[in-house]
């Protein structure tokens, strides 16, 4: 051996390192040194770099290692990961099965203790009781046999519990059912408490609702009575015009203008609702309608300290001295007496009329309008909206007149009627 080393190698170290040198020669042959040149074009400089065999071999090993690592990671992700998840799921199922078995075992143990206790009690009665009848002794013996049968059954089930993988427990999920039962019972108790609170709250709300309904009903009744008394003064006049109270109230609730309130929409209830709400809705509708009528109807005199000098109806014409229909009421007044609107409305006519002189006519809605005649001056224009008390003109003696006064008419759908009861509030 030494002769061989001395013959082919210069020293022992050269013999030991020979395999490594041989491998390195192969690496150098495969990855020979390289030289490459880089030119810096803007500056015109040229740089030369050398890559040794070791550097090229190291880069190759790094690339191969990276490729192998990526390939292995891909393989693990594609193949091993689903398998790992499957194993994890199987392990979880086994844990759940084990937990169920422990629960079942505990149930069986409790059942075994109960049966054993009952068996001891029966044996004690049979052995120590001297006053047992034959029927009672036979009944105890049958119970003892039945308990032994249940114990044999438990023994079989416990054996299956550990031996049979497809074991289906007799008392499946009894503990889970017990927990679910407790939860449901707790929820029921909570619901009962909530129901009791809701009932108490509903009782309070019902009492408050009754008080509110009674208060509003009383309020509407009182105000409705006051408004109705005001309307009763002209009820005979309305009947003579063919106007029904209910129809007039419904039309009033539907009427609106820029001055009076907006339209009132009646409240509709289901047929099964308590009658007190229906009555309240009817009272509110009546109240709203009467309140609107008290605003809209031309009630009152157009002059202060009104004094009637000529009433509505047949009279002797002051010029011809012959009987003639007088279509309005004449109020005493001097030239320049302020004349005011008696209700909100819109001026629909201003100007001279034959026999009437200078006039103003105001539309109040619901078919009613008022006419002011023999004026000396008009203070409004056609299209103006006027409020109660708005000065619309000054008294005079224009037109067919024997002296200064105000001729005042109220019309319904364009026809004059006796306004006496409208003027006397």
- Paired with 48 in beta bridges are 37
- In this prediction the pTM is 0.50
H-type helices in 42-173, by residue range? 53-75, 81-128, 134-163
Q: Are residues 334 and 284 in the same domain?
A: no
Q: Are residues 22 and 121 in the same domain?
A: no
Q: Are residues 323 and 394 in the same domain?
A: yes
For 21, the domain range is: 1-30
Strands 308-310 and 368-378: unpaired
**Which token pair is 99?**
């937990």
Q: What is the pLDDT of residue 379?
A: 94
Higher pLDDT, 246 or 227: 246
Neighbours of 232 (CB within 10 A): 11
Q: Are residues 10 and 65 in the same domain?
A: no
Give 173's pLDDT tier (boundaries 50, 70, 90).
very low
How far CA 51 is from CA of 54, 59, 103, 242, in Å, comes to: 8, 11, 72, 121
Q: Are residues 401 and 319 in the same domain?
A: yes
Q: Are residues 354 and 393 in the same domain?
A: yes
Number of domains in the chain: 4
325-376 pLDDT, tens digit per residue, is: 888 999 988 899 999 999 999 999 999 998 899 999 999 999 999 999 999 9
100: Cβ contacts below 8 Å, ≥ 6 apart: 169, 172, 173
Cα R_g (the chain), whole angstroms: 57
379 in any annotated domain:
yes
Q: Which of 147, 162, 177 is the last residue of a domain?
A: 162
242-291 pLDDT, tens digit per residue, is: 888 888 888 888 888 888 877 777 777 666 677 777 777 777 788 788 88
Averaged pLDDT score across all residues of the chain:
81
Specify whether the CB–CB gap between 296 and 365 falls below 8 A. Answer: yes
280: Cβ contacts below 8 Å, ≥ 6 apart: 213, 216, 217, 220
Highest mean pLDDT among 164-168, 195-199, 307-311: 307-311
43 in any annotated domain:
no
Q: Are residues 278 and 317 in the same domain?
A: no
């Amino acid at each position: 051996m030494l002769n061989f080393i001395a013959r082919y190698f210069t020293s022992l170290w050269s013999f030991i390192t020979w395999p490594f040198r041989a491998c390195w020669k192969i690496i150098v042959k495969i990855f020979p040194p390289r030289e490459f040149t880089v030119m810096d074009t803007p500056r015109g400089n040229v740089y030369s770099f050398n890559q040794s065999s070791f550097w090229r071999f190291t880069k190759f090993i790094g690339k191969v290692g990276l490729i192998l690592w990526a390939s292995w990671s891909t393989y693990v992700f594609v193949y091993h990961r689903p398998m790992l998840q499957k194993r994890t799921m199987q392990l979880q199922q086994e844990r759940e099965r084990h937990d169920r078995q422990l629960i079942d075992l505990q149930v069986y143990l409790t059942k075994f203790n109960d049966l054993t206790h009952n068996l001891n009690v029966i044996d004690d009665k049979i052995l120590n009781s001297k006053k047992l009848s034959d029927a009672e002794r036979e009944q105890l013996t049958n119970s003892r046999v039945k308990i032994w049968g249940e114990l044999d059954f438990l023994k079989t089930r416990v054996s299956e519990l550990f031996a049979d993988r497809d074991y289906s427990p007799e008392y499946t999920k009894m503990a889970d059912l017990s927990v679910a039962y407790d939860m449901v019972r707790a929820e029921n108790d909570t619901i009962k408490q909530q129901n009791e609170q809701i009932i108490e709250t509903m009782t309070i709300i019902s009492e408050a609702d009754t008080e509110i309904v009674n208060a509003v009903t009383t309020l509407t009744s009182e105000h409705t009575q006051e408004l109705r008394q005001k309307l009763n003064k002209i009820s005979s006049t309305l009947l003579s015009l063919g106007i029904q109270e209910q129809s007039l109230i419904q039309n009033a609730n539907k009427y609106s203008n820029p001055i009076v309130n907006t339209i009132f929409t009646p409240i509709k209830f289901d047929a099964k609702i308590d009658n007190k709400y229906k009555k309240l809705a009817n009272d509110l509708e009546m109240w709203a309608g009467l309140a609107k009528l008290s605003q809209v109807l031309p009630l009152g005199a157009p002059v202060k300290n009104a004094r009637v000098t000529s009433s509505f109806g047949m009279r002797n014409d002051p010029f011809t001295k012959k009987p003639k229909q007088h279509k309005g009421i004449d109020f005493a007044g001097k030239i320049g007496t302020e004349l005011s609107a008696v209700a909100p409305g819109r001026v629909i006519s201003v100007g001279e009329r034959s026999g009437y002189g200078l006039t103003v006519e105001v539309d109040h809605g619901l078919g009613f309008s008022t006419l002011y005649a023999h004026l000396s001056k008009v203070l409004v224009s056609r299209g103006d909206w006027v409020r109660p008390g708005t000065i619309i003109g000054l008294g005079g003696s224009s037109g067919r007149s024997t002296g200064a006064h105000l001729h005042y008419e109220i019309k319904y759908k364009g026809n004059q009627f006796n306004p006496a009861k409208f003027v006397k509030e």
